[in-house]
Amino acid sequence: MKSKTSPTHLIFTGIYFVLVIVTLIPNASASKASLLGYKALCSFVPWSAIILLGLAALHIYLYQKTPVK
C-alpha cells in the first residue's frame, strides 16, 4: 500500500481548525463586539471562521488530488 509522503495539507488543515476555535474565544478586553453579539478574540467572527473553514476545505481537496508516489 502506497501512502502520500507529504502531510503538508493535513498540517495546514489542523492549523486552520485550531484558528477557528481560537477566533471564537470570548475576550472581554476586545475593542468591538463581533457580529455574533459578544466580544470575541476576533471581531470579524463569523466571517473569519467561515474563511478559515474554506481554506481547510481547500487543503483537504488539494490533499486528495495529490498523486500517490
Name the residue ranges covered by the structural domains of the chain.
Answer: 8-65
Contacts of 56 (CB under 8 A, 6+ apart): 12, 13, 16, 17, 20
pLDDT in tens, 12-64: 999 999 999 999 999 999 889 998 899 998 889 999 999 999 999 999 998 88
Q: What is the pLDDT of residue 3?
A: 59
Asked if 2 contacts 69 with a C-beta cutoff of 8 angstroms, the reply is: yes
